[in-house]
Structure 1
Amino acid sequence: MGVSVEVTETPEDEAFDIMAKNKDSMLAWLNVETQWKVIASMAGLIWIGLNYTAVDVALRRLSFPDAVFDDLLVMEKAALPILNGGA
């Protein structure tokens, strides 16, 4: 479809720490990273958002607390402009 995705490795010096209270939210984010709704267009990929049905199943199956879903919504909102080429 003419879409190219650039993947780059993060140098070790760009690593960062996660506060203990955010551990569940970060682990959940990593576990649902394949659950994005994306549209392929002539202009490239358009990231729509997370597939909430699939995210809900993953969170329940992995026994994350309910509050983690709210954190994922905040993370999704921050990620969408970046994924869609904005800042």
Structure 2
Amino acid sequence: MADALAALGAPDDVLDAVRARPTGEDFFYYADNEESLFLFFDVATQWNYVGTMAGVVRTGLNYPGVDSVMSKKRYRRKRLAALFADLQMMEKAALQVFLDEAESRRQ
């Protein structure tokens, strides 16, 4: 993981933190990102899917469903915009991973 992050230009403090973590952890995250990360987990059932000739693909999150989850979790009002922006960033990254995985299965 550290080598991949280094190739992407990750800062030294991030690389040090990744290298210092115990082996066997699934992933590392900073405590500052916990609320956003857990929101991403909470909306895991809100993906939109479309059937295509190439198979079923995810097209993004169902935002009305995301809004419902966010309102039920009662996040602080002043945090909503930042949480949603973080969620969209993770959504975009996840969609790229899903696309890459689908393409590798086709080869």
TM-score with structure 1 setting the length:
0.76
As a proportion of its length, which structure holds more helix? 2
Following superposition of structure 1 onto structure 2, how do residues 7-26 of structure 1 map, counting pairs within 5 Å?
Answer: 13-26=24-37
Q: Deviations over 1:50-74 (max 9, x none)?
A: 0011101101110223021110000
- Count of aligned pairs between the two proteins: 76
Structure 1 Cα separation of the partners of residues 49 and 99 of structure 2: 10
Following superposition of structure 1 onto structure 2, how do residues 1-87 of structure 1 map, counting pairs within 5 Å?
Answer: 13-64=24-75, 65-66=79-80, 67-85=82-100
Q: Which runs of 4+ in 1 moved over 4 A?
A: none
- Which gives a bigger RCO, structure 1 or 2 (Cα 8 Å, sep 6+)? 1
| Runs (5+) with no aligned partner, structure 1 | 1-11
Q: Deviations over 1:15-56 (max 9, x none)?
A: 233211101001100000010001123311221100011101
Taking only aligned residues, the RMSD between alpha carbons, in angstroms, comes to 1.9
The structure having more radius of gyration, on CA atoms, is 2
| Runs (5+) with no aligned partner, structure 2 | 1-22
Paired-residue identity, %: 37
Does the residue aligned with 2:33 lie in a helix, a strand or coil?
A: helix
Does the residue aligned with 1:45 lie in a helix, a strand or coil?
A: strand
